Amino acid sequence: MDMDLVVVFSFVALLALIITTGIIVFPISRKLGLFLEQAAKERANRIAGGQPAIATPVADQLIQLMSGLEEQVGRLAERQAFTERLLEEKAQSGATKELPGTHGP
């Protein structure tokens, strides 16, 4: 078999494969693009209309969880500020108070 014929046949087969793949994949990708565009528009409309972008029971649960976390973080911030004040007062007074149960040298 002639080598030029093999090269030409390979080129034609590859070109046919690329064109066939394009014909098959293009409608699928177009439908997927339209679906995603429609879903994005619906979500934007829900957000603009004041409706949550996610289901209401899930949104309510997330809001409750976030409120609880906000409260816990607030308490932690108060405790940290209190501890920092105590450490600052101790550093300013220069007192070295031993912890209970420890003995000095």
For residues 26 and 46, state if they share a domain. Answer: yes
- Tens of pLDDT, residues 25-45: 888 888 988 899 988 888 888
Residues 9 and 36 placed together within one structural domain of the fold: yes
Give the span between the Cα atoms of 83 and 90, in whole angstroms: 11
User: Based on the domain organization, do 63 and 45 belong to the same domain?
Assistant: no
105 within some domain: no
In this predicted structure, the answer to whether residue 46 has a pLDDT above a threshold of 90 is no
| Burial letters 28-54, b for 16+ CB under 10 A, else e | eeeeeeeeeeeeeeeeeeeeeeeeeee
Does the pTM of the predicted model rise above 0.95? Answer: no
d(CA 11, CA 72): 68
Q: Which helix (DSSP H) or strand (DSSP E) does residue 5 occupy?
A: helix 3-48
In a domain, 48, yes or no: yes
Residue 8 shares a structural domain with residue 49: yes
98 is a domain residue: no
Residue 18 lies in a domain: yes
Please check the confidence at residue 59 and state whether its pLDDT lies above 80.
no
Asked whether residue 20 falls in the same domain as residue 60, the answer is no
d(CA 74, CA 81): 11
Give the tokens for residue 82: 């209190």
Domain tally, the chain = 2
Domain shared by 46 and 59, yes or no: no
Say yes or no to pLDDT of 13 above 90. yes
Residue range 6-34: mean pLDDT, rounded: 90
Q: CB within 8 A of 62, min separation 6: which ones?
A: 54
Quote the tokens at residue 63: 């809001």
- Give the pLDDT mean for 44-55: 70
